[in-house]
Structures are given as structure tokens and as C-alpha cells.
Structure 1
Amino acid sequence: MPLGLLALAIGAFGIGLTEFVIMGLLPDLAADFGVSEAAAGWFISGYALAVVVGALVLTAAATRLPRKPVLMGLLGLFIAGNAISALAPTYDAMMAGRIVAALCHGAFFGIGAVVAADLVAPAKRAGAIAIMFTGLTAANVLGVPFGTFLGQHFGWRSTFWAISAIGVLALIGIAALVPRTPTTSGTGATPGAAPSLRRELGAFRSGQVWLSLGVTVLGFGGMFGAFTYIAYTLTEVSGFAATDVPWLLVLFGAGLVVGNWLGGRLADRSIDGTLLGFLTALVVVLALLAWLAASAVAVIVLLVLMGGFGFGTVPALQSRVMRYAEQAPTLASGANIAAFNLGNALGAFAGGIAISAGLGYTSPIWVGAVITAAALVLMVVAWATARATAPVAAPTAGPERADAAPRPTTATGSVAASAL
């Protein structure tokens, strides 16, 4: 394994920790700044919205720049944002720190995924992306409980200082371990082609890129529609005590880790096959979880499976959009990170509507199953369209995987664009 992947994973760990640890610190933040819990909740919502903006704007702005210095600059922004949060004397200053830190999130994962893919052979790209995203899963399993513990015992500011230190470690690691490559190298870019925003935007002429982004929004929206309100399901329906919720979430996080690893391995063999299989399994798991929510034993098993199949789609989803944007993958990769966050917001919003309508605490899970089913239908359309165009777009003298993407024929577009 290239050591550069480890440095990227450390960066992903710190960024994931910044996003999720705030949930366990909201009561302390609300008390310190003298605001309601709803107002404190904007530290989460504001972060998510800034991720979407940063994923698109900063990635586009960095198109002409070498990727290694860009990643280092993004980590500098991340460190600064968390330092502002740690020092924040007021609510507004804290919000500013959250937004500054969030701006780097989407661009780091989008550009980092391209760099990770460049560090390995083409047949191992999905696995390399999975290794980088392991940092994000580890942030859920290990980082969030530790960060919450640190904040509860030494004050919430100590958590943000610790996250800043992780950012410094990742910055040093990337500086030392990630090779410097020109913007145009890797992941199918035409050798010697001049980097340009126009060429990156040209990737969005591919219908398969848009289908992939749609699957990302709906696939992740379904899982997070169920997960956002899972604590209420566990305590009000399954009969668990509130003190049981943390270790149950650790089990969910363990599922994330295993699913991410397995999804990366399988996606290196067949991206579309992995997505079709995992999305089908996720629909079944969510439906069973909603149906059997009153059974504590069933909930424990299904919670792990929900994390596994849900996050197991991540390497394949990221690899798919990069494959169909092969001539210019950087902006499309960042757009897919934005799509993940839009999915999070969609799922949480839809689940909240179901609860507000009085449909009960299992209703967000049913809503999640429906949204995931929609993702599966869209994925079937994408798969069928890709198969229909592949023989014309990607003739080959030897055998080729059934889900292989049509290869772009120009620097600004793909034959796959004719599919839609």
C-alpha cells in the first residue's frame, strides 16, 4: 500500500471528526454561547451547506493547480477553521470557524479520491479510494466517541484543538508521502493536455455522470433518512436505554468500516454489479429494520448490516463518477462529494416530515427504504444504458468487464452523453 494513502486517510479522519463530533457536543456549545439547542444545531446544518459550496467552488478554482499543493492548502484551511472554533468567543465566531473548516471538506475528498486513484494501478483504484475513506469511517467508530469524551472532561474547545493537531499531522504526511504529480496526470487524462475548467465542466456532458450523481444523492439519502432519527427508534420502539445508544452506534460504525473495505474490493471487480447488489441489499435491510424494530436482537444485527451495505456503496459511487468523467475527473469527483451531502440533507428532511406527520419513529426507516429503492431503479437505468452504449463507445480486442464505462473520445465529452 502506498504510504500516501495513509496520509490521505489521516486527513479524511480529521475532516470526518470535525463533521460528526459536534453532535455529541451540542449541549455544551448551547450552554456556553447561551443559545437554544435548535440554534446550536445550525453548527451542523451550516457545516453541511458549506461542504456543498466548497466541493464545487474550491474544486473548480483548483482545476489548474497541481493536486498535492492544493491538498496541503485545503488542510491549512481545515486547521485554521478548527483553530477559530477552538478560540471562538461568540456564537458567530464559532459558526465562522465551522464554515471555514467545512469549505475544505468536499474539495479534499473530491481531489483526494483522484490522487488516491493515481497512486495505484488502474485495477485497484476503487480499493485505494476505499482506503482513503477508511479515515472517514474510523472517525465515526473511534474518533467521535473519543472526541465527545475529551470535550465532556476537558471542555469542548479541547476537542477542536485535538482535531487541529490531527490536521497538522495529515499536512505533514501529505507533504512527505504523496508524490507531486501534474494536474493532467492520472485517471485517464490525456497526457500533455492543458488543465482547464472548461475541460472539467465538459465531463458533465456525460449522461452517466449525472446518473451516477443521482444514485449518490438517493442512495445516501435513503440510509441517512433512517440513520438521522435512529436514536429515537432504538429508545422508543426497540426498548433500549439511552445509555445503550452509544455502543449501538459503535456497532453501526463497525458495519461502515467492513462495508467500505468490502465495497472497495468488489468495486475493483465490477462497479455497477457492486452498486446493484449493495443497493438491493440495503433496501431489504431497511425494510426489515422498520418491520422488526421492536425486536432488540434483530435491530442489533440489522443496524450493522445497514452501515455495511450503506457505506459499502461509497467506493463504487466515487469510482463510477470518476470513470465516466475520466478525461476530467476532479470537478466531477468533488460534485459527487456534494451529492453525498445533499443526500444526507434529503434523507434527514424526508424523515423529519414523516415523524412530524405522526407516522411514528419507524417511519423515517420506511422513508429511507423508499428513497433507496428509487436509487436502485436509477442504478438499473444507468447500468442498462451503459451496457447499450459500451460496444460502440469502447471497442476492445480482448475481453472486458460488462460494466466497464465507455471511454471518452474527446477531452470535453464522452460518447456516453448520447445515452440520455
Structure 2
Amino acid sequence: MKKFRIQSFVLILLAFVLGFSEFIIVGILDDIASQFSVNIAVVGYLVTIFALVYAVSTPIITSLIKSNLYRSLLLLMGIFTLGNLLTAVAPNYSVLVISRVVTAIVSGAAISLAMTFATAIAPLERRAWLISWIFSGFSIASVFGVPLGTWISTTFGWRDTFYTITTFSVITFLLVIKYLPHDLEQQKASGIGAQFVIFKDPRILLSVVVAMFSLAGVYVFYTYLRPILSQTLGYSPSMITLMLTLYGIMSLFSNQYSGKIADNRGLKAMPTVYVVELLALVLMPLLLKSKFIGTVDVMLIGALMYLINSPVQLHILSVAEQDYPQSMVLASSLNSIFANFGISLGSAIGGIVVSNFGIQNVGVGGAFFTMITLIAVIMLNRTNKKYNK
């Protein structure tokens, strides 16, 4: 049991470092824009680029992983560490973009392997717990990583934020070497096509649609969280770190409660969640006129944004484990792949909304995607019902 706890910590730390690197741009948008004299909406597209590269590269890399998963994870973490170091020393905005692309290429495959390790090391009754905590590693990055990185950026400079991330990456790399099993193998497929056969299953297709549009709806708004807090709600610079921390706590709750939902009603509970989220986004332009009510609405979305994670991840893994064992690593990555397609789509639409309609209207843009998610999750529940007959 002690060994399992240590291995679980390493996997959660891995998720934290990956999340810290991905999310930190939201907290330091203003500082990067100022450093390189570019528009804040242009820097916002760094979120779009990262997520799009992440989503496109992950299925390609995971399908090329043939055997030893431990060595594959070490290679990915090595590249990830170098990518963040390149960001820290980037002499201009173009090199910064390239460094983010390098980091994004390996991030999705790394978290996919973490999920595969979790499935292998966790007893069945602890699987939902561990997966929800791995997802929570990303929320912990929001709770502690983004505010810490924002503080470092405003106090010492944004480059020091990425030196900090690089340090965490090295520590994680060493812990992976010491504690994770070295002999974990994936069942060999006859070819790359044999892994992608999983996409013929309607349960998988609907699951990835839900994962994608769920985060698309949130990221229209979330990409511009710092400007919303400072410009629209009028929080002072000294309060921004506190508000980002509070939002991170809400998202941590979201991931933790996601595990409880997975252990109980699972996907059947999600239509209610998306109805509430839809209302919170549609009403956002009105609610942001009040500092208190607007803040409550923002934090509510933080509490809802990750509730889908564990239910949809466990659903995909259970389908793959039963019917597509040759696709387990790819299956482990599907949630993060399509969530990042959603992040890319949502952040891009958010930029269009901000540029053309004003930052106060991002919620309405997000509501459109949340409506699609609501329809998709209802269809997924009906499809699962048919398969379970």
C-alpha cells in the first residue's frame, strides 16, 4: 500500500507539472504581451496553439508507442523539460511560440502514459480515486501553480516562472526513474490501424465529442479569466493572485467531486451539470455588472468545469479494456486529446468574441458549445443503455 501511495504521488505530480506548464499562460498574458510588445489577444492565441498541437500530436505519438511504457515516458519528459527551458530563454516571440509547440507535442502523450500507469498499478476499487487525483493534479496546478507562477512573473519576471517549471520537471523526471515500474508493456497491435479501430465505436465517438465541447464552452471564458477579474470585475493587482487561487480551488473541487460522480451515477448525472453551466454562461454578461454576483458566477463555472473528467475517462477506459485492449494507451489519451481540441476551439472563439463584441460577452460564446455538450451527453447515455441491454 505504501508503494502504491508513492507511485500515485508521482503520477499526480506529473499531472501537476504538465498542468502548470499548460495553464500558466493564462496567468502571465499581460507580462508576455508587455515584454514582446504584442496585443493581449495575440498572446491569448498561445493557448490556442498549445492546445491544437497537443490534440493533433497526441494520437500520433501514442499510436507509435509500441512496447516499454517506462522508457517512452522518460523520453517524453526529457523533451518536455527542454521545451520549458527553451521558453525561459526565448529571445523573441517567434522562439517562444516554437518552444510552446515543442512542449505541447509531448504533453498529451505524457499524461496518456500516466493514465495507463494508473490503470496498471491501481486496484480496481481504487482506480476512480487515482484517476480523479491525476486530473486533480491539473487543478492543483491552477490552485498553486498559476498563482505562484503569476506572482513570480510579476515579482521577478515571467522567465523565472518557466525556470521554476523546468525545476519541477527535473524533479518529476527523477521520481519517475525511482518509483514507477520499469517493465510495463502495452499489448502489441498488428499495426497503427488496429489501434484506431476504437473510433468505430459510437460510445467512443460520443465520449470524445462530450470531452471536446465541454472544455470548448469553458475556455471561451477561461482564457480571459485574468482580464475579466482585473478589467471587468475591477479587482486590484494585489487581489488577482487571490482570485486565481480561489478559482483554482473551485476547479480542484470539480476534479475531486468528478471522482465521486464516477463512483455513483457517472455520465447519467452530467445532463443536470450542463444545464446549470449553460445558465451560468448565458447570464454572464448581466451578472458581470455586479462585482459580487459576477464573482460567484465565475467561481461556479470553476466548480463545474471538470466534473466530466473522471466519468468520461473511466467510461472510455472500460470500453477499451473490454473490447479494444490493443488501444489502451490511445484510449487513455482520448479525453485529453479532445479536451485540448476543445481548449483550442474555445480559446480561438474567445479571441474573436473579445475582439469583436467585448470581453463581457465571452459567456454567450461559451454557452453555444455547452449546449452541444448537453445534447451529446444525452445521446451518449442513450447509446450506453442500448449496449448494456
TM-score interval, smaller chain: 0.7 to 0.9
Stretch of structure 1 that moved more, 293-302 or 169-178: 293-302
Contact conserved, 1:114 with 1:329, CA < 8 A, in 2? yes
Contact conserved, 1:289 with 1:302, CA < 8 A, in 2? yes
After TM superposition, the structure 1 = structure 2 runs for residues 216-365 of structure 1, keeping only pairs within 5 Å, are 216-234=211-229, 238-241=233-236, 243-326=238-321, 327=324, 328-358=327-357, 360-365=358-363
Alignment gaps of 5+ in structure 2? none
Question: Counterpart in 1 of 2:165?
Answer: 163
Question: Counterpart in 1 of 2:15?
Answer: 12
Which structure is higher in RCO with an 8 Å CA cutoff and minimum separation 6? 2
Instruction: Give the Cα separation in 2 of the matches to 1:38 and 1:150.
Output: 22
Q: Deviations over 1:47-70 (max 9, x none)?
A: 2232123312211111x1222222
- The aligned amino acid for 1:139 is A
Secondary structure at the residue paired with 2:203?
helix
Contact conserved, 1:260 with 1:312, CA < 8 A, in 2? yes
Instruction: Give the Cα separation in 1 of the matches to 2:371 and 2:39.
Output: 37
Q: Deviations over 1:284-342 (max 9, x none)?
A: 43345444332333233332221111112222222222222332232133232121111
Stretch of structure 1 that moved more, 151-160 or 77-86: 151-160
> Kindly tell me: are residues 246 and 367 of structure 1, through their superposed partners in 2, closer, same or farther at Cα, counting changes over 3 Å?
same
> Kindly tell me: are residues 149 and 245 of structure 1, through their superposed partners in 2, closer, same or farther at Cα, counting changes over 3 Å?
closer
Alignment gaps of 5+ in structure 1? 186-192, 392-420
Secondary structure at the residue paired with 2:169?
helix
- Give the superposition deviation at 1:31: 5.1
Question: Counterpart in 2 of 1:389?
Answer: 387
> Kindly tell me: are residues 237 and 35 of structure 1, through their superposed partners in 2, closer, same or farther at Cα, counting changes over 3 Å?
closer
- Does the alignment pair 1:132 with 2:134? yes
Question: Counterpart in 1 of 2:110?
Answer: 108
1:212 to 192, 200, 207: 207
- With normalisation by structure 1, the TM-score equals 0.82
CA-based RMSD of the aligned residues comes to: 2.6
- The aligned amino acid for 2:270 is L
Contact conserved, 1:16 with 1:135, CA < 8 A, in 2? yes
- Give the superposition deviation at 1:112: 1.4
Stretch of structure 1 that moved more, 82-91 or 381-390: 82-91
Question: Counterpart in 2 of 1:176?
Answer: 178
> Kindly tell me: are residues 153 and 245 of structure 1, through their superposed partners in 2, closer, same or farther at Cα, counting changes over 3 Å?
closer
> Kindly tell me: are residues 344 and 292 of structure 1, through their superposed partners in 2, closer, same or farther at Cα, counting changes over 3 Å?
same
Instruction: Give the Cα separation in 1 of the matches to 2:356 and 2:121.
Output: 49
- Give the superposition deviation at 1:163: 1.1
Q: Deviations over 1:85-140 (max 9, x none)?
A: 22333444333322221111111122211221222222432321111122211111
> Kindly tell me: are residues 116 and 86 of structure 1, through their superposed partners in 2, closer, same or farther at Cα, counting changes over 3 Å?
same
Instruction: Give the Cα separation in 2 of the matches to 1:297 and 1:144.
Output: 23
Secondary structure at the residue paired with 1:54?
helix
> Kindly tell me: are residues 72 and 363 of structure 1, through their superposed partners in 2, closer, same or farther at Cα, counting changes over 3 Å?
same
- With normalisation by structure 2, the TM-score equals 0.88
- Does the alignment pair 1:21 with 2:28? no
- The aligned amino acid for 1:154 is F
- Give the superposition deviation at 1:355: 4.3
Instruction: Give the Cα separation in 2 of the matches to 1:148 and 1:234.
Output: 14
- Give the superposition deviation at 1:43: 4.0
Instruction: Give the Cα separation in 1 of the matches to 2:288 and 2:29.
Output: 27
Q: Percent of aligned positions with the same letter in both sequences?
A: 26
Q: Deviations over 1:211-253 (max 9, x none)?
A: 0000111111111123233445545654544654432222211
Q: Deviations over 1:343-365 (max 9, x none)?
A: 1122233344444453x544221
Secondary structure at the residue paired with 1:249?
helix
Question: Counterpart in 1 of 2:194?
Answer: 199
Secondary structure at the residue paired with 2:305?
helix
Instruction: Give the Cα separation in 2 of the matches to 1:321 and 1:158.
Output: 38
Instruction: Give the Cα separation in 2 of the matches to 1:350 and 1:92.
Output: 22
> Kindly tell me: are residues 298 and 316 of structure 1, through their superposed partners in 2, closer, same or farther at Cα, counting changes over 3 Å?
same
Instruction: Give the Cα separation in 1 of the matches to 2:196 and 2:63.
Output: 9
- Give the superposition deviation at 1:208: 0.9
> Kindly tell me: are residues 178 and 225 of structure 1, through their superposed partners in 2, closer, same or farther at Cα, counting changes over 3 Å?
same
Q: Which has the higher helix share?
A: 2
Instruction: Give the Cα separation in 2 of the matches to 1:308 and 1:361.
Output: 21
Instruction: Give the Cα separation in 2 of the matches to 1:153 and 1:272.
Output: 43
Instruction: Give the Cα separation in 2 of the matches to 1:50 and 1:386.
Output: 31
> Kindly tell me: are residues 354 and 101 of structure 1, through their superposed partners in 2, closer, same or farther at Cα, counting changes over 3 Å?
closer
> Kindly tell me: are residues 297 and 33 of structure 1, through their superposed partners in 2, closer, same or farther at Cα, counting changes over 3 Å?
closer
Contact conserved, 1:204 with 1:325, CA < 8 A, in 2? no
Q: Deviations over 1:160-206 (max 9, x none)?
A: 22211111111122222222343336xxxxxxx65753332121111
- The aligned amino acid for 2:136 is T
Question: Counterpart in 2 of 1:412?
Answer: none
Contact conserved, 1:239 with 1:294, CA < 8 A, in 2? no
1:122 to 114, 124, 128: 124
Instruction: Give the Cα separation in 2 of the matches to 1:246 and 1:363.
Output: 23
Instruction: Give the Cα separation in 1 of the matches to 2:123 and 2:172.
Output: 24
Bigger Rg, structure 1 or 2: 1
Contact conserved, 1:123 with 1:268, CA < 8 A, in 2? no
